[in-house]
Structure 1
């Protein structure tokens, strides 16, 4: 029987994943997911898609405490070498700034002009068709994604999925096991194949998702994520085997899936997963 085998949220954009056994999936994604971001002195937000500036943010931990009664939900930040601190306080800003080596401020509010730095990978095949005018290896400043209604700093869809079937094939192509952490999914689903755009996925008793598009990949999967060491060769494997046509966008190197939420509900490790035929 197909089941949920991993649930992860990222309370602070581009920080380490928080592994949980259950989470509520609302209209805007997992409760507490990507609700905070780092704001740099130049007004851009933090993203490890420019690893020179933000790669070490992947070592910062963030933990979401759901709301209880009249007490709103909170996020606690743990930067290496610093005491835990509540997001939104001077202590949290100081800890993350010290770790990154420059002053930043944690925020839940999106700047009026939401921008981020982006590094275009120099591995052939890693630049999508819609960015064909970009130069491999160049730094860029691009518009960042934001769900204003839900207050979420996600790049495209509210939920990001990977499947065990796709991970097994990628590991075989790459010649060694690929840790799903590299792709920063919200859910790891035990499915033999990736569902196609438009397919619906029922999870547990209530939640229903609809696949939107395959997830275009950037440099992040090749970076170090905790115990998963940096692996630059992974970009070559992805570009060689996973460059596909993304509906309405063009060709891109993709892995994983973005999904929208059709029905909300709590999901738990071990929940049954059913991908409906189109």
Structure 2
């Protein structure tokens, strides 16, 4: 179990290709739109609509790695793909939820991805993240985000995962294995705070970066997929529905927007101190839409 003590940055995670496997980093630069290299690549269908692991579960099994030339992707049973960062002039229209923007098409990857995923898709790269604003409902007009679902970073805490796993084990009578944090695809994981403390945060400092906590994270079917097999189940949604259900959704983690006064990246590292600069009284649950 996680102990309450000095809040620290326990781990950092980046996801180079949206919906694919992530990688743990000892340190990372924080840019205005998220961690350096986080979710700058995305798979889309022939019409430019984002393809995610919600509907194409095998995406979770792809293992991307950022290289000097672009991106390397490994898939079970296949030769790896090496793809160069595409020319920014090769823009195509793409849509991710309510965001409509353009991204550069890496056409040489399409045939490989078609075989691996079993459907016609294209690979695109977001060369300029300033094209995509964050939802104005929760953020400032000049906030930007890469190809994450909605916000630059997601923070979770070890204590909250421990509390959830207590419920998972209780519900299963001890038969279910504890869920790993990978299910929730966070960017930063904090240790040394109590369970669900992140619900109450409004401003937090990690290392040398100040963040606004702008919205709780409503969880989807991806969390029910085993990250090692892409096979589905009922957890954690079943247990979250017992203890973390508000407004018809289940919640785990909090979305963050970095405040970088001059826009220059700042590096954070595992073990950095985490300081809560502003918080509300506990008990209200995650930040969520006003009804």
So what's the TM-score if we normalise by structure 2? 0.71
Q: Are the counterparts in 2 of residues 109 and 151 from structure 1 also a CA contact under 8 Å?
A: no
Q: Are the counterparts in 1 of residues 32 and 145 from structure 2 also a CA contact under 8 Å?
A: no
For the residues of structure 2 that align with 1:148 and 1:49, how far apart are their CA atoms?
29
For the residues of structure 1 that align with 2:125 and 2:230, how far apart are their CA atoms?
29
For the residues of structure 2 that align with 1:161 and 1:5, how far apart are their CA atoms?
11
The answer as to 2:32 corresponding to 1:27 is: yes
For the residues of structure 1 that align with 2:162 and 2:48, how far apart are their CA atoms?
40
Which residue of 244, 256, 260 corresponds with 1:259? 256
For the residues of structure 2 that align with 1:227 and 1:78, how far apart are their CA atoms?
15
Q: Are the counterparts in 2 of residues 214 and 255 from structure 1 also a CA contact under 8 Å?
A: yes
For the residues of structure 2 that align with 1:198 and 1:260, how far apart are their CA atoms?
12
Q: Are the counterparts in 2 of residues 62 and 76 from structure 1 also a CA contact under 8 Å?
A: yes
CA RMSD of aligned residues (A): 2.6
- Tell me the residue number matched to 2:224: 222
- Tell me the residue number matched to 2:276: 275
- Tell me the residue number matched to 2:204: 201
Which residue of 30, 39, 60 corresponds with 2:44? 39
Which has the higher mean CA deviation after the structures are superposed, 25-34 or 257-266? 257-266
Q: Are the counterparts in 2 of residues 77 and 92 from structure 1 also a CA contact under 8 Å?
A: no
Q: Given the superposition, is the C-alpha separation of residues 180 and 62 from structure 1 closer, same or farther in structure 2, using an over 3 Å criterion? A: same
Structure 2 spans left out of the alignment, 5+ residues: 1-5, 87-105, 128-140, 170-176, 280-291
Per-residue deviation at 1:57? Answer: 0.4
Structure 1 spans left out of the alignment, 5+ residues: 67-72, 111-146, 245-249
For the residues of structure 1 that align with 2:21 and 2:277, how far apart are their CA atoms?
32
Per-residue deviation at 1:76? Answer: 2.3
For the residues of structure 2 that align with 1:148 and 1:64, how far apart are their CA atoms?
27
- Tell me the residue number matched to 2:109: 92
Which residue of 95, 110, 118 corresponds with 1:101? 118
Per-residue deviation at 1:151? Answer: 6.7
Which residue of 149, 160, 166 corresponds with 1:166? 160
